[in-house]
Amino acid sequence: MSTKPIATEYAKSAKAGCKGCKGNIAKGALRVGFVGKANFGATAWYHYDCVWKENDSLAAIDSSKRVEELVDGLSALDKSDQEKLEKDLPKYSKAAVVEKKTGKESAKPSKPLAAEYAKSAKSTCKYCGKTIDKGVLRVGFTGKANFGATAWYHEPCIWKRIEDFKGIKLTDSVADSVEGFGELREEAREILKKKLPEVCGGKASKRKSDSGDSQATVAKKGKA
Ligand SMILES: [Zn+2]
Ligand SMILES: [Zn+2]
């Protein structure tokens, strides 16, 4: 039924080349592949040692899953090879995620925050632990959930995460710091424009802000 993203086996022939080093994979050699990543949905095979250099593919693996859920053919391997794979796969896929985030930042528009109306009711607020209903405004820290995903919050909940905001500098406008800002309705934009300067790092907005109704000290200038 559902295909696992990775396959492993002892090569039945010496026909497949390693997609990493382009060398031959000898018959009987332990090989590991990404299912569906070669032409026509075939498995892209690698030498066991070469596969761990495939950061892009590894970063896409959900390493919170058990290895046997991810790897097709695992149980047919020798015990020692199974153990090797069970140890290496989570290790390298986690490392790949880290590397991807630090090394290839330029590939993504890396705004520190994101906001949108939840497209489904699948996400859970990282603060209160409750479901974020479909259509509800949610705000998140990009890259702060597992595997570089966005950690989402109910809009009222995220402001409780003062600590997480400290690392965020509002360099430009709020719009330039929040992914999806342009698609929000006016009232949501107003909330973000008011709240973010209060909580983000780089400004000494510490005093008196805990008294419930905190006036936006930043936006004073323009007002009469
Ligand atoms: Zn190789
Ligand atoms: Zn919440």
160 alpha carbon – ligand 2 mean position (Å):
10
Phi-psi region of 66 (alpha: psi -120 to 50; beta: other; left: phi over 0): beta
- Both 65 and 151 in one domain: the answer is no
Could you report the per-residue pLDDT of 39-67, keeping only the tens digit for each?
888 999 999 999 999 988 999 898 788 99
Rounded to an integer, what distance in angstroms lies between the CA atom of residue 178 and that of residue 192?
Answer: 9
Nearest ligand to residue 23 Cα = 1
CATH code, domain with 54: 3.30.1740.10
**Which tops the pLDDT comparison, 196 or 105?**
196
- Both 130 and 213 in one domain: the answer is yes
Tokens of 128: 């209160």
In a domain, 1, yes or no: no
152 alpha carbon – ligand 2 mean position (Å):
9
Nearest ligand to residue 140 Cα = 2
- Both 179 and 84 in one domain: the answer is no
pTM over 0.75: no
Nearest ligand to residue 24 Cα = 1
Q: Are 192 and 112 in contact (CB under 8 A)?
A: no
Task: Give the count of domains, the chain.
Answer: 2
Phi, psi torsion values for 160, nearest 5 degrees: -80, -15
Q: H or E stretch including 10? A: strand 6-10
188 alpha carbon – ligand 2 mean position (Å):
16
Q: What is the DSSP string of 101-163?
A: HHH-GGGS---SEEEEE-SSS--B-TTT--B--TT-EEEEETT-SGGG--EEEEHHHHTT-HH
Could you report the per-residue pLDDT of 174-221, keeping only the tens digit for each?
888 999 999 999 999 999 999 999 998 755 444 444 444 444 444 444
Nearest ligand to residue 154 Cα = 2
44 alpha carbon – ligand 2 mean position (Å):
42
51 alpha carbon – ligand 1 mean position (Å):
7
Examine the fold and report which residue of 106, 125, 150 is the final residue of a domain before the chain moves on. 106
Residue range(s) defining the domain that contains residue 157: 113-220
125 alpha carbon – ligand 2 mean position (Å):
5
- Both 158 and 117 in one domain: the answer is yes
30 alpha carbon – ligand 1 mean position (Å):
11
Could you report the per-residue pLDDT of 106-146, keeping only the tens digit for each?
445 578 999 999 999 989 999 999 999 999 999 999 988 88
5 alpha carbon – ligand 1 mean position (Å):
19
